[in-house]
Structure 1
Amino acid sequence: MVDLIAAAAAVGQPLRVGVIGAGIMGADHANTLRRSVRGAEVTAVADVDLDRAKAAAAGATAYDDAFALIADPAVDAVLIASHDSVHAAQVVAAARAGKAVLCEKPLAPTLAEGRQVLRDIGATGEALLSLGFMRRFDPGYVQLQQAIDDGTVGAPVLVHNISRGVSGAPNATSEFSITGSAIHEFDVVPWLLRSPVVEVSWTAPRRSSQVHEGLQDPQVIHLRTADGVLSTCETFLNARYGYDIRCEVVGETGAISLTEPARVRMDAGQRHGIGYAADWRPRFADAYRIELQAWVDAVLAGAPTPLATGRDGVAASAVAEAVITSMHEGGRLTKVELP
């Protein structure tokens, strides 16, 4: 399949992408592919809700069966943005069909399932698989990594991460805060430092009065990478005031940090201020666009993609599992079972 795609690209034919999942993320990806990514064509969309699939397909083929989309000969590559619980089966099916696949995080709901996916698809399937950890393509994070590599602030000693949202899902659990939100830090910290996370611990302040009893929000997680750097990760799903992502790297001779992109400046009622994004889409719009372009370009060229790999996804899940263990065991320092 990859050779056929490269041959088609050589004569100017686009990469025909099928999108699985037509919720907020999948519909956004379909729109970005259509409007902002060169060399791509959305030829099919699948969702368990056929009407929602048709709306996101915008005239392309719509399915209510993800596996029918994967089998469609008019689909060269598959983008998976469905519910986390079905990622594993869909990744395996796409890889076995010989189709390049970009799967939104996580690769699977648990570490064991993620490892089983890699066993099921083998080395050939791994070469077709990319994971959607989009922060690796965010211009701010890219500049942070470059500054670290250049030694601009000396050797890193601390990394501080803050991830705050307006409101979490109504049924969010303490564990979901880790696997669905903090997992981005579990990927970006070792990516920034070029060193794997080897031990973790979990702690938390009093629970916010704005959330239900089944959710500890906020949470604070400590990560130690193999190079000895300590990272703090605050995750606060229900911070209410806006979507706010921060990262500061403290080195031996200085510090560097992300600044929140200004979307709207307001001057009214004798007040001056900057408006926050309501969710992740405006904040990471550039990252998603750049990531999708990099994926399409690599698949068309028959080259390895620069995106996170299946093994990166399993590594992040290993960190998440260790953090959940620490949470259930009173914050005990917990070793990460590296893949």
Structure 2
Amino acid sequence: MSDLRVAVLGVGLMGADHVHRIEARISGARVAVVNDYVTEKAEQLAAAIPGCRAIGDPLDAIADPDVDAVVLATPGPTHEKQLLACLEHGKPVLCEKPLTTDVEASLQVVRREAELGKRLIQVGFMRRFDHEYAGLKALMDSGELGRPLLLHCAHRNPSVPHNFDSSMVVRDSLVHEVDVTRFLFDEEITSIQIITPSPSPGAPDGLADPQIAILRTASGRHVDVELFVSTGVGYEVRTELVAEKGSATIGLDVGMIRKGTSGSWGGTITPGFRERFGQAYDTEIQRWVDAVRSGTNVDGPTAWDGYAAAAVCEAGVESLRSGGPVEVSMVSRESIPGA
């Protein structure tokens, strides 16, 4: 079978990483087309890859006959139109989160895909492919710890771009814990509350940072998340499961523990998301490529998962404004056959 010809739309930080990943570490695929609103960036990248072309219009790139599948790493507001184009042309697509930036638009994408009678959309919630998260899920499903009861999570970034606002803490950071909760517990989130403690003196002006998110699932399980995106320290993502017969924690960066003569004790904090989740991204893209080549198209989070995350985050932004708990509004999955 010939290599899958992939178009990567959006070749900024994440998209450029995916281009290099597909070319260097993924088998069975090659980058055939790149696109970016900064035309020079796309052209420069294409020139360095044999057989790759830069196409200026993202919809033209999707429709191109030399493209078998698409990776969307474009800004969230562009996703709806690009996803619908992928569906129209019958092209499998791996879409970085968010599915769309609007809950109703996400629902329309889910419905349109369901009307086609086959899944073409996979959403880039890469933590599901991380060895530690996969191991925690397997432990929970084994029953060894009994009934899972609580999750305690921390999500810390050293810094964020200057245009990062308080709602983006929910939509861009918390969204990963939203998907992790649904993945680990296999149920929907029914309510969310965002609490804003006194902001860190190091936080950009106007940014409510840190934030605390409290989630409740359909069966009454509790999840709390500390979100602190301007620590100035490093990238830390931790999850602790508390269950009926024990607990388990991942994300401790315990590859090496050091003790020094100065009395210090510890290891090294991961500097960024690419170092922490590089393996997860590699596994995610490889499994997606394998799924597309086999004809199943999706091996991971679906359009429905993207819609569910968008619905929870929409309620989270409402809670950020009000300070109180907000019920999550979603249609039932059963109401959309094939979703």
* Secondary structure of residue in 2 paired with 1:284: helix
Note if 1:215 corresponds to 2:207.
yes
Q: Which whole-Å CA distance do the structure 2 matches of 1:99 and 1:259 have between them?
A: 35
Structure 2 counterpart of 1:86, one-letter code:
T
Whether the aligned pair in 2 keeps the contact of 1:96 and 1:121 (CA below 8 Å) is no
Give deviations 1:174-215, integer Å, cap 9, x for gaps: 111100110011111011011111111111210111123321
Q: What SS class does the counterpart of residue 275 from structure 1 fall into?
A: coil
Counterparts of 1:2-21 in structure 2 under 5 Å? 12-21=1-10
Equivalent of residue 258 in structure 1, options 230, 250, 260: 250
The 3 A distance-change label for structure 1 pair 264 and 41 is farther
Correspondence for 2:35 = 46
2:329 paired residue number: 337
TM-score by length of 2: 0.91
Choose which of 51, 59, 64 in structure 1 pairs with 2:56. 64
CA spacing shift, 1:88–1:126, aligned 2, 3 Å = farther
Q: TM-score, normalised by structure 1?
A: 0.91
State the 1:273 CA deviation. 4.5
Q: 1:220 to 1:122 in 2, by over 3 A?
A: same
2:91 and 2:190 map into 1 onto residues whose CA distance is: 33
- Secondary structure, aligned partner of 2:5: strand
- Provide the residue aligned with 2:301 in structure 1: 308
Aligned residues: 327
Corresponding residue for residue 276 of structure 2: 283
Aligned to 1:199: 191
Percent identity for Structure 1 against Structure 2:
36
How far the C-alpha of 1:146 sits from its partner, in A, is 0.7
* Distance verdict in 2 for CA 1:97–1:304, change over 3 Å: closer
2:24 equivalent to 1:24: no
Q: 260-269 or 117-126, which moves further after superposition? A: 260-269
User: Which 5+ residue runs of structure 1 have no aligned equivalent?
Assistant: 1-11
* 8 Å contact kept, 1:246–1:259: yes
1:142-181 alignment to 2 at 5 Å? 142-181=134-173
Deviations 1:248-288 (CA, angstroms, capped at 9, x unpaired) = 00011100010334578889995664222222111000100
Which residue of the partner structure matches residue 123 of structure 1? 115
Moved more, 120-129 or 161-170: 120-129
CA deviation vs aligned residue, 1:109-167 (integer Å, no higher than 9, x gap) = 12122112234444327611110000110110001111111122211111011110010
Secondary structure at the counterpart of residue 152 of structure 2? strand
- Maintained 8 Å contact 1:166/1:241: yes
Mapped contact 1:101–1:130 kept (Cα < 8 A): yes
Partner of 1:108: 100
In structure 1, how many angstroms separate the alpha carbons of the residues matched to 2:14 and 2:297? 24
Q: Which of 54, 63, 69 is 1:77 aligned to?
A: 69
What is the aligned counterpart of 2:285 among 271, 292, 304? 292
Give the letter for the 1:289 counterpart. D
Partner of 1:228: 220
Residue matched to 1:8:
none
Unpaired runs of at least 5, structure 2: 332-339
The separation in 1 between residues aligned to 2:90 and 2:77, in whole angstroms, is 22
Q: Distance between the aligned counterparts of 2:118 and 2:237, measured in 1? A: 31
Instruction: Point out the more displaced range, 284-293 or 209-218.
Output: 209-218
Whole-angstrom distance in 2 between the partners of 1:169 and 1:152:
42
**Compared with structure 1, are the counterparts of its residues 155 and 266 closer, same or farther at alpha carbon in structure 2 (3 Å cutoff)?**
closer
Cα distance, 1:298 vs. partner?
0.6
Q: Secondary structure at the match of 1:127?
A: coil
Residue 321 of structure 1 pairs with residue 327 of structure 2 = no
Distance 1:119 1:335 in 2: 23
Is 2:23 aligned against 1:34?
A: yes
- What SS is found at the alignment partner of 2:62? helix
Residues 156 and 235 in structure 2, CA contact (< 8 A), matched pair in contact too: yes
Asked if 1:241 is matched to 2:230, the reply is no
What is residue 9 of structure 1 aligned with on the other side?
A: none
